[in-house]
Chains A and B, each alone.
Chain A
Amino acid sequence: MPLHLLSAAIFLPAATGVLVLFLPRSKPAAARAVSLGGSLLALAVSVAIGARFNPTSGGFQLVEEFPWIPSLGISYTVGVDGISLFLVILTAFLTPICVLASWRSADKRVHEFHASLLFLESGIVGVFLALDLALFYVFWEVMLIPMVLLIGIWGGQRRVYAAVKFFIYTMVGSLLMLLAIIYLYLHLDGATAGNGGAGASFALSNVYEGLRSHPLPAGEQMALFLAFALSFAIKVPLFPFHTWLPDAHTEAPTAGSVILAGVLLKMGTYGFVRFAIPFFPDAARAAAPWITALSVIGIIYGALMCMVQTDIKRLIAYSSVSHLGFVMLGIFAFDGKTFLGEGVTGGIYQMLNHGVSTGALFLLVGSIYERSHTRRIDDYGGVARVMPAYAAVFLIVTLSSIGLPGLNGFVGEFWILLGAFKANRLAGVLGASGVVLGAVYMLTLYQRTMLGKAGGVVGGGAGHGARVDGAGHDLPDLWTREMVYFVPLIVLMAVMGMASPWFTARIDPTVAAWQKLVGGL
């Protein structure tokens, strides 16, 4: 008896979202509670998926398949493998945290806020689980709406600008990808029709197969690869398509930033692994040196940008440019024959690490902003004196983010850089330099906000932000509600840092199968 776990993981949040919209407006607490319950239930479902996942198999599991628009070969096909498994769990893990983190800070249109958040979760999980190109595209676009709304309605002062910028950037990429998908469909349709086949289908397995038996000419392959790649590169974001990110991250409400950095960016890197590379392996191979170069530039450039930011949130946003550069560097660790397993698995692992670490960083910014209503670095100083638990958590998360061995970030960086170094010595060396710069900007941030003499809002002086509460030294340490999610996040960082084989053992078989699919082994 099939459980339809994957469909449950996709639609449970959206269903909860609809329910929330019908709750009485007068009771925001009910909206919060229902959202929390629904998202926790979705988390339970995703954990169940993990429990049922067969770690030795490299293929798609728990597949569900229903015809949707048969005349077009569009089906509702979902499945999970080692690449998507943890991304789904991560999404389901971060959403209830976001609900908790917004418990007090999201105080306008509470119902719509939570509905957006839950719709967003559905869209993202759908993107990761869809095994039909058309279905994937629908989720890819659907996800955009709640995200834009989260930024544009519940965001900071420049929220509309940020939302529009995000929207335009993403739409430009999406439209090109849509054209590429259609072109691909027509190509396969024509090819199979000529052979008296049953016509083309958007099902992923058919596309993989069709492109092997009916290869595209090199030029067309490259054009289509670029169309997909641009869309994904914007999402990642790969340098120089990154300037939407600082604005979107900075202006989004905490929950939006957490989801944006935590999982939404990974849709781009995921897209490369799932679609762009296996669809067009020859083009991917040819483009690998260029993408590697852009990744390395992104690592260093993003880190340099962090060094000149004056806004905590913007600094962390730019750090994502650097960190996602690492992920791309790993995925495109191509040594002339094959995409190296260390790099690809390391890249996938780093997606998860970044989700946990940067998600936690945005949560931390959210916590302090909720207290002091300023994000300017200069408004802080000596926070560790008044908020010791907060400072300790901040330190651990910082260390995780800069790849201290023993915590999660190191494991991903280690494999990525080993793969990159194997593939291309120079790329490995330049990439590793990003680790030095990472320590520079994160520890500078830590020093200027947490350490030193109590200054700015901490010491009671007036901050530049619009402060609402009175005395500056009135910064209560972490509340229980916040500890409820920071403690599991920290535990996760340690577990992923010391027990990584448990995770990589579930990713590896899929990557091995993926390498066969991509060829060159």
Chain B
Amino acid sequence: MKLTAITTSTVKEIPARQLIAAERLPMKIESILYLMPLLPFLGFLTNGLLGKRIPKAFVGPIACLGPLFAFAIAFQGFIEVRPEAARALSNPLGDWMRVAGTSVALAFSLDKFQAVLALVVTGVGSLIHIYSVGYMRDDAGYARFFAYMNFFMAAMLVLVLADNLVLCFLGWEGVGLASYLLIGFWFDDEANAAAGRKAFVVNRIGDFGFILGIFLVSISFGTVRFAEIAQNERIAAVAPGVLTAIALLLFLGATGKSAQIPLYVWLPDAMAGPTPVSALIHAATMVTSGVFVLARLQPIYAAAPGAQAVVAAIGGVTALVAGFIALSQFDIKKVLAYSTVSQLGYMFLAAGLGQGAVAVYHLVTHAFFKALLFLGAGAMIHSLHHEQDLRRMGGLRKSLPRTFGVFLVGSLAIAGFPFFSGFFSKDAILDAAWHKGFGPGGGAGWIALWAVALITAAMTSFYTFRLVALAFFGKERWKELPAAHGADHGHGDARHSGGPAPGEVRDAPPVMLAPLYVLAFLSVIGGFIDVPGFLTGRHEPHGWIAPLTGTAAFLAGLFGAWRFYGRGADEERGRVFAAAPPLRALHALSAGKLFVDEIYGLCVVKPLQALASGLYYLVDCIIIDLFLVEGLGGAARGTGAILRRLQTGMVPSYATWFIAGVVAILAAIAITGVR
């Protein structure tokens, strides 16, 4: 059996190359795809190994170089892949693993989905690298930070450009490692280190499903190449039950990486990392990997409708639950984190509706406005000396006018303000849900999902403008509060103690603002890029229902937020909101994050620990050692006495004696057997 079509060691005979050779493009973009991950990787090695020895002024530029070059290649690839109908450009570099005729190729490819993702990852990635030059300027671990960021870019590009599932898994776990390292970047704080570990372990649970899915793919398809397993003829040859199992196992992997129920719990904690990390890894790129893989493997999901329904349901419920939790958080990054979980749920809902291209559409616009929101929040946090609590903000529109401007653009985009980017992609999902629910093959369940999507849209608008109101309007509460917060505050970004002096709070330097402007621009116009049309090759006109209901949801959220938090908004207003008894219970649930971490702790972590220590003392210490081994205790003690005496003797004499003894016994018994 061959896992891939590429098993020969001589490059000339590779079928995939011949396939492409007929329509080989003059640029041969496929032959330089490997440079995209390689260049950031070289940056990682440079800053990682020599970071302390090269001047600080060079560290940032070195780190930005890789992503920028990768962006140039991605841009060229995007242009070249365009005229192609569906075929991927692929170029194998050799075998990564090979056993008994089964092999996994080290091969990168570029199809339309990959081209879009590569562009987003390198584009947004480059902007965030540039922003970080300013944001991390005073950090002692400057070079280490950029080394990790470059490592992330390399791994993410392997994930995106991988020609087969196993190589994709290399990137998949690689970005997980980068995430682990960057969440725990300020590892002096035990909480940050724990958050990093939690992220890695929860992701590993997903990866457990992912790798089993890969095994099942390789056994039932005989290949792990994306281009081949997404072929309908091959899919038709696989039993439906197996397809469902594959779809669900890979989706389990996606719920880990893309923070969906039941594995989303790591993402809010991941906010312990520096804010550019939250923007790049935990909003714009890495967490969308699951959506990306599902979208690429859409034909498999189309052939497994049961699994597809599960994807839609999990996505919808996650969107709702995370949106609900985001309503009452006071840590600005936590609001954005739960918002990200919610928006990712939206994307999975689209994928579960069979609209992979629409899912990627929302992925792209989300990358723009969520990166913008995180970086904007970072600029605020930076100005306020690492204050993240919304209750200690307020009135910032006066001192941070530019930040306010771009943040408002991002907020309008995510909330679905007409003709901003989020409006289009969200409406495409609402539209798909509406048609699924009320169209043929629909039903109450699908209609409920449409309703969930709409409610989530209203929630999104509500928590976004609540955040805007609390941060930018009302009294400048940060002026009144004593400068007592800081390192003891428990927040990830709390690196400096002492609050800002009045007048010190001003907009960030140009190196941080410039990327914000670019992202703001993209957040406005991003929706006009017809991603689904590019991916599917056809343009589907939308009805009027989705834009109308979507806009209604936007307005409902906006007015709700204004009603409770607008004008002179402060903490008291939040309490008013929670005063009425039925609301109070809901508010407590939301603020307590539905107590999911506590429930997991009680139901999974504690029992596992109890089992481990129970087994250790019962089985290893008592049953085996005490009863079985010490049962031979007499012999043990006897030998021990001999041994103790021998310790004082000469080693070689003892060894000789023993060899002689063994040989003698062997000979004696054997001789008696010789007739």
Interface positions of A (Cβ within 8 A of B) = 18, 21, 69, 71-72, 112, 115-116, 119, 134, 137-138, 141-142, 145-146, 148-149, 152-153, 160-161, 163-165, 167-169, 172, 178, 182, 185-186, 189, 193, 240, 243-244, 246, 301, 304-305, 307-308, 341-342, 345-346, 382, 384-385, 399, 404-406, 411, 414-415, 417-418, 421-422, 428-429, 432-433, 435-436, 439-440, 443-444, 446-447, 450-454, 498, 500-501, 504-505, 508, 511-512
Contacts and interface: CB of A to CB of B under 8 A. Distances in A.
B616 A142 contact: no
Given A185-B673, A246-B620, A435-B207, 19 more contacts: A149-B651, A160-B640, A189-B673, A193-B675, A301-B615, A305-B612, A305-B615, A305-B616, A305-B620, A308-B613, A346-B99, A404-B177, A414-B166, A414-B211, A418-B218, A421-B215, A447-B197, A452-B190, A453-B189
Contact of A243 (B97, B624, B662): B624
Contact of B651 (A115, A307, A505): A115
A429 to B, nearest CB: 6
B655 A119 contact: yes
Interface string B186-209: 011110011011001100110110
A428 B249 CA distance: 14
Interface stretch (B168-176, B328-336, B394-402, B415-423): B168-176
A164 B643 contact: yes
B315 interface: no
Interface in B206-229: 207-208, 211-212, 215-216, 218-219
19 contacts: A21-B652, A134-B666, A137-B662, A146-B655, A149-B654, A182-B673, A189-B674, A243-B625, A246-B620, A307-B609, A308-B609, A308-B612, A345-B99, A406-B174, A414-B211, A415-B99, A443-B200, A447-B184, A508-B99
Contacts of A142: 655, 658-659, 662
Nearest to B167: A405
A457 to B, nearest CB: 17
B659 A411 contact: no
Contacts of A418: 102, 215, 218
A520 to B, nearest CB: 15
A165 B99 contact: no
A416 to B, nearest CB: 10
Nearest to A453: B188
A69 B667 contact: yes
Contact of B615 (A115, A137, A246, A304): A304
A153 B644 CA distance: 9
B651 A148 contact: no
A307 B608 contact: yes
B170 A504 contact: no
B215 A146 contact: no
B103 interface: yes
B644 A182 contact: no
A146 B651 CA distance: 8
A227 B94 CA distance: 45
A513 to B, nearest CB: 12
A504 B99 contact: yes
Contacts of A153: 647
A504 B608 contact: no
A436 B208 contact: yes
Contacts of A450: 187
Contact of B173 (A163, A307, A404): A404
A453 B654 contact: no
Contacts of A148: 643
Interface string B147-172: 00000000000000000001001101
A399 B102 CA distance: 25
A141 B662 contact: yes
B215 A417 contact: yes
A435 B101 CA distance: 25
A506 to B, nearest CB: 12
B100 interface: yes
Contact of A185 (B96, B170, B629, B670): B670
B11 interface: no
Contacts of B102: 342, 418
Interface of B: 94-103, 166, 169-170, 172-174, 177, 180, 184, 187-190, 193-194, 196-197, 200-201, 204-205, 207-208, 211-212, 215-216, 218-219, 608-609, 611-613, 615-616, 619-620, 624-625, 629, 632, 635-636, 639-640, 643-644, 647, 650-652, 654-655, 658-659, 662-663, 665-667, 669-671, 673-675
B639 A164 contact: yes
B180 to A, nearest CB: 8
A385 B670 contact: no
Nearest to B197: A443
A443 B176 CA distance: 13
A163 to B, nearest CB: 6
SS class, residues of chain A in contact with chain B = helix
A435 B103 contact: no
Contact of B639 (A115, A167, A193, A307): A167
A341 B636 CA distance: 41
Contacts of B612: 304-305, 307-308
A72 B670 contact: yes
7 closest A-B pairs by CB: A341-B100, A451-B193, A304-B612, A405-B170, A451-B187, A501-B98, A452-B190
Contact of B671 (A72, A115, A411, A444): A72
B219 A422 contact: yes
Contacts of A304: 608, 611-612, 615-616
B669 A512 contact: no
Contacts of B650: 112
B96 A498 contact: yes
Contacts of B611: 304
Nearest to A163: B643
A138 B662 contact: yes
Contacts of A160: 640, 643-644
Nearest to A142: B659
B534 to A, nearest CB: 31
A512 B675 contact: no
Contacts of B196: 447
A186 B673 contact: yes
B98 A165 contact: no
B96 to A, nearest CB: 7
Contacts of B218: 418
B258 to A, nearest CB: 18
Contacts of B177: 399, 404
A23 to B, nearest CB: 14
A504 B173 contact: no
A309 B100 CA distance: 39
B211 A164 contact: no
Nearest to A392: B48
Contact of B204 (A168, A415, A436): A436
- Residue of A149, A244, A341, A512 with most partner-chain B CB within 10 A: A149
A71 B170 CA distance: 57
Given A165-B636, A189-B674, A508 B655 contact: no
Given A417-B211, A443-B200, A168 B662 contact: no
Contacts of A415: 97, 99
A338 B212 CA distance: 22
B201 A443 contact: yes
A465 B101 CA distance: 53
A182 B670 contact: yes
Nearest to A321: B620
Contacts of A429: 212
Contact of A405 (B174, B197, B674): B174
A189 to B, nearest CB: 7
Contacts of B169: 405
A500 B632 CA distance: 45
A148 B190 CA distance: 41
Contacts of B180: 443
- Residue of A18, A72, A243, A451 with most partner-chain B CB within 10 A: A451
A406 B41 CA distance: 13
Contacts of B665: 178
B635 A168 contact: yes
